[in-house]
Structure 1
Amino acid sequence: MRLIQYQDESRLRVALVESATQVRPIRVVGGSYGLAHLAIGCQQSIAEIIEGRLEAECLDYQQLIDAGCLLPPLTHPDPAHCLITGTGLTHLGSADTRSAMHTKLANSSETELTDSMRMFQLGVEGGKPGIDEVGVQPEWFYKGDGNWVVPPEAALTSPSFAEDAGEEPELVGLYVIGEDGQPWRVGFAVGNEFSDHVIERQNYLWLAHSKLRQCSYGPELLIGELPAHLEGVSRITRDGVTQWEKPFLTGEANMSHSIANLEHHHFKYAGFCRPGDVHVHFFGTATLSFADQVRVQPGDRFEIEIPAFGRPLRNPLIQEEEAKLPRPIGAL
């Protein structure tokens, strides 16, 4: 089951994806956020809540896109209460990359490993604990709040001071915090964790700076169990011509951490269990064009596709033109 969220005049609406061309609106107030809180309050699954709330007539999916009505599949009424975060070094990558990585791990002493390699090794060894066990904590980063989120099909803006505007195709977990502080997973989506890889490569301690960019996720929200093995394709097009394309693998079968372990180490902090908040958590990438020496330019379009998630996530790239001068800070 997959859902989308869209704007219908002055109302936020959520709809069930019936096919590649049709969606069926759901009678609920407040979009997918309202739907999630209704499910929490009724102690039912979202699938159960949807039963009996589907409208009779379907809408044309493409018309919603063409009209600019499509939104991220889960948002908060107040963007400041939507936290965007993520974890890195969580994916094993392709078979060749994995083999090369394991060879290096086996042939290197602990002192020869970089911090990134050491973090990856910790995940391989302890990122998938048994039931009721706590595994090793992953790399973690903060990306922004809901104001930094760009809807599917809308443009991602590279800041004027950025040195790179690279995509990161990722699996995203979407969560709502209940009134008692209990986190609830609403579902999963495809995400583009848009980053500055030049800054990150210059000095890994600038990783936090490289992440403070816009991002996008959706357009569809997958409800229910996540397949253990997922195959996707990430591509960059320019004037309708593919400039770069690469398959990638995700899902727990292709990760060094379990989803449950990544969730535990995020929501173990009381500050992330504030009632009513929405959390958008990126689970890490398996491939990126920057690693293949690809440099994007304004007008290029990112496309990230995982068939199990329906329609691809697509965002064109634009460049912020005005240079940012040092901002004077007032003293009180």
Structure 2
Amino acid sequence: MALRLLQQRREDGGRAVIAAEGDAAWIVPGVETVYDLASRAIAAGHTLAAAVEAAGRGDAVDPAAEHAAGRLAAPIAHPDPAHLIMTGTGLTHLGSAEGRAKMHAAAAAPEAQTDSMRMFLEGVEGGKPAAGQTGQQPEWFYKGDGTGTVGPGDALTMPAFAQDGGEEPELAGIYIIGPDGTPWRLGLCLANEFSDHVTERHNYLWLAHSKLRQAALGPELLVGPAPEHVEGTSRILRGGETLWEKPFLSGEANMSHYLSNLEAHHFKYDLFRRPGDVHVHFFGTATLSFSDGIRTEIGDIFEIEAAPFTLPLRNPLAQAEVKTVAVKAL
């Protein structure tokens, strides 16, 4: 049974770590955050699972009840949000080029192959290299820092200037950088890599603008080997009714890249191996409501669920108020 880690919001404003295996779940004594637990494991030369076992078992807890009561936070955070880096890769899933190609094909001649399709096909050809080799470089984007991370139940708030707020149901890898610069993968969580697809569709060179948005992380951090096949459902609720629903697939069996290849191309940069930093890296999706002609509205609720995760990720859509920003000469 896979170990799952969750972070509980305590009434005093602090945090507690919940460990869950199968139907059993308990408070992990002696640590307040998953970040602290991971740091302890690295220092001791233990796995996360071994660190949980060494800590013993505190009070039993019901994760579903905590989730329903709104007492679960995102499963990872950094004490200084500026040291949590959100990034991602696109065009990594079999079928993921179709929606992107539709988005950008209008700008190309009918016989021309879009940059998106070329990048996707290069990934299909070289994204799963032989052991010990580095494969094709994927698309990569910067998404923000820890101030843009929201947890289950929290609103996904698009900026006042945004043209769209659309869901992207994905897996996200969660990493911490050890004291010697080694990246350690803590596990995977469900995620909504929230983006502005209208802005992206206008011009692919605006992809960077479209990605500078918040992102939601599901309540559970799945520890241990990454599952080969993840199958779930992404839906949008409006007024209590299902507006749109579609299955989505993830895991390496459904991807054109190995996770190790995506990780190698991210952490090859010295900047991303700064000791103590946390990285949340989104692995991409092939399923978007935008590709099916859906335009979201304020108040819509995004819902993502997938086994082997046991709890869904739900987030309402909101929009920030207009802010006037003026640069002053100093």
What TM-score does the superposition give when structure 2 sets the normalisation length?
0.92
The question of whether the paired residues in 2 share the 8 Å contact of 1:303 and 1:313 is answered with: yes
Match of 2:161 in 1: 161
The question of whether the paired residues in 2 share the 8 Å contact of 1:28 and 1:34 is answered with: no
The question of whether the paired residues in 2 share the 8 Å contact of 1:199 and 1:210 is answered with: yes
The question of whether the paired residues in 2 share the 8 Å contact of 1:174 and 1:189 is answered with: yes
Instruction: Name the CA distance, whole Å, in 2 between partners of 1:18 and 1:268.
Output: 34
Offset, 1:240: 2.1
Instruction: Name the CA distance, whole Å, in 2 between partners of 1:68 and 1:120.
Output: 39
Instruction: Name the CA distance, whole Å, in 2 between partners of 1:80 and 1:62.
Output: 31
Which aligned segments of 4 or more residues in structure 1 are displaced greater than 3 angstroms? 65-68
Letter in 2 for 1:81: H
Q: Does 1:3 align with 2:5?
A: yes
Instruction: Name the CA distance, whole Å, in 1 between partners of 2:69 and 2:157.
Output: 21
Match of 1:113 in 2: 113
Match of 1:12 in 2: 15
SS at match of 1:330: coil
Letter in 2 for 1:11: G
Letter in 2 for 1:239: G
The question of whether the paired residues in 2 share the 8 Å contact of 1:93 and 1:248 is answered with: no
Letter in 1 for 2:239: D
Match of 2:256 in 1: 256
Offset, 1:53: 2.2
Match of 2:326 in 1: 328
Between 55-64 and 191-200, the greater mean CA deviation after superposition = 55-64
Letter in 2 for 1:329: V
Please give the root-mean-square deviation of Cα atoms over the aligned residues, in Å. Answer: 2.0
Match of 2:108 in 1: none
Letter in 2 for 1:195: S
The question of whether the paired residues in 1 share the 8 Å contact of 2:88 and 2:141 is answered with: yes
In structure 2, stretches of 5+ residues that fail to align are 102-110
Offset, 1:166: 0.2
Q: Does 1:301 align with 2:301?
A: yes
Match of 2:27 in 1: 25
Match of 2:81 in 1: 79
Instruction: Name the CA distance, whole Å, in 1 between partners of 2:239 and 2:67.
Output: 19
Q: Once the two structures are superposed, what CA deviation does each residue of 1:189-247 show, in whole Å capped at 9, x if it has no partner?
A: 01100000000001000000000111111210000011111111100112221110000
Match of 1:43 in 2: 45
The question of whether the paired residues in 2 share the 8 Å contact of 1:79 and 1:146 is answered with: yes
Instruction: Name the CA distance, whole Å, in 1 between partners of 2:13 and 2:231.
Output: 37
Offset, 1:30: 3.8
Match of 1:108 in 2: none
In structure 1, stretches of 5+ residues that fail to align are 102-110
Percent identical residues:
57
Instruction: Name the CA distance, whole Å, in 2 between partners of 1:290 and 1:279.
Output: 27
Letter in 1 for 2:15: L
Instruction: Name the CA distance, whole Å, in 2 between partners of 1:134 and 1:301.
Output: 39
Instruction: Name the CA distance, whole Å, in 2 between partners of 1:296 and 1:262.
Output: 30
Match of 1:177 in 2: 177
Instruction: Name the CA distance, whole Å, in 1 between partners of 2:39 and 2:31.
Output: 10
The question of whether the paired residues in 1 share the 8 Å contact of 2:64 and 2:311 is answered with: no
Letter in 2 for 1:4: L
SS at match of 1:125: helix
Instruction: Name the CA distance, whole Å, in 1 between partners of 2:285 and 2:207.
Output: 15
Letter in 2 for 1:83: I
Letter in 1 for 2:253: A
What TM-score does the superposition give when structure 1 sets the normalisation length?
0.91
Match of 1:202 in 2: 202
Instruction: Name the CA distance, whole Å, in 2 between partners of 1:241 and 1:2.
Output: 31
Letter in 2 for 1:192: N
Offset, 1:63: 4.3
Match of 2:66 in 1: 64
Letter in 1 for 2:300: D
Instruction: Name the CA distance, whole Å, in 1 between partners of 2:26 and 2:176.
Output: 23
Q: Does 1:142 align with 2:142?
A: yes
Offset, 1:128: 0.5
Offset, 1:67: 4.5
